[in-house]
Structure formats: structure tokens, C-alpha cells
Structure 1
């Protein structure tokens, strides 16, 4: 399904740049990502992993949005769910983890450099896109390394 990777990455890049500039994630672009994930799921027959990835990421980000509505927008919720559908459960969870790590690191650096304060918003879409990119290309290796530490 490699032919779906390029449109997935292009749409993610567009979303990241729009979110950086406007703190908005356009629904039509998320719908395209969702469609790409659904197509990949059907072509691969990966229904369980894809649907689990969607539910896990959408559910987790939805809870974050409920408890921290000013910290996590609903666009991030929909984007995370679409990424989970495309990548499946384990790569989706890994991509979200990598998004939080990279977003946290950038946030800390911006605060230390006095470019932002702890109260300033930071768009999360670019970090979700980065996490998805890393998960797509390096996720299998990262997960093999990680699980290999516990189950040699």
C-alpha cells in the first residue's frame, strides 16, 4: 500500500502548515486522511488493527479535549483518529507518543528561550504529523527494538 503513503504525507504536511499559521485543522483535509485510512484498511484487510487504532487515538484525544478543551482542539481529535485508522493500533499509538514527546520538547525549548510562556498556545497538528511520519517510516523498527528489550 505504499502508493497511499505519498498522498497521506502530503495531506499531513498541508495540515501541519495550516495549523501552524491559523491554529485550525480543516475538516475536508481530515476527511481525505480518513478516506485514505479506510482505503488502506480495506485493501490490506487490516480491519481489526485499523479500527482499533482509530478508536484508541480518537478516544484518547477526545478525553483530552473534554478535560482540557483549551489545550486540545477537536481538530486534533479528528486528526489523531484518522492517523490511527491509517497506521493501525501499534503504529498509531507510537505516533501519538512521539507527537507528545516532540511537542513537549519544542514547548520546553520555546519557554526556555522566552519565545512562549506556559500559557501560550502551541498547535499540536504539526507534532501529530511528525509523529505519523516517524511512525510510518520508522515505527516497525522502533517497536521491534522496544518490545525486544522485554521479550528477547
Structure 2
């Protein structure tokens, strides 16, 4: 009787392990295309992404670079203070999108141009995505808008 209980317990533990491993593999397989890594322009220049790699590019929209083309295509440059990447986007930009403001775009590099499928812009006077702030701090060009200047 004791041998049967021990065998049953081992079978249940083995089955639970197989189920856990299988579900982990399925979750990993399902998420393989859903994970987009954030990169600043300096990181894209230093380590160019692979062909067809979807990632997020963030930084500040470079002053004087915003060009509205024929139809819905818009081109501009994104900078982190060290490097600048050309961006092309077809669609409607967020209302608060403008030059000198923070943005994050999702897309891929095609012939040296980041072709964005989605553009996100800041939503109020002080908001900037954390990844953009971190990249700008890394380059030494970030200024905290909430910081009080010395009197």
C-alpha cells in the first residue's frame, strides 16, 4: 500500500512538472513577437538592429526636422543629444506631438530610416517616458523641469 502511494505521488509531481514546463514554453512562444526593446538613437547607431527587428525608438523630436509630406506621411528626426535618427510615419500624429518634445515610436529600420507604426507623445507639461529620460540623462542633456533654479 505504501509503495502505491509513493508511486502515485511521484507520478503527480512528474505530471505537474511537465505541465509547468509546457505552459512556460507556450507563453515564451506567444510572447516572442510581443516584446519590443527600447533604444535611444545613440544605441541604434552604435549597435544597428537586425533586419525586420521591431523595437521602440525614443528621444526628442529634433527642432526644424518635422516635414509633413504628401498625404499622411510625416518625416522627422529623433535625437538624444548625441545622435539623430530619421523617422518616417504614415498616419495621424498625436495632438501633442511637436518639435522639441519627447516621443517614443514603435517600428523597424528600413534603409537607414526608422519606419514607425505607432507614435506616442508626451501628455502634459512635465511628462516624458522613463526610457527617454534615462537615455537623455545618459547623454548628459536632460534637465528636470520640476527642479528649482538657484536664487
TM range, normalised to the smaller chain?
under 0.3
Specify which structure has the bigger relative contact order, considering alpha-carbon pairs within 8 angstroms and separated by 6 or more residues.
Answer: 1
Q: Which has the higher helix share?
A: 1
Which protein has the larger Cα radius of gyration, Structure 1 or Structure 2? 2
User: TM-score normalised to the size of structure 2?
Assistant: 0.26
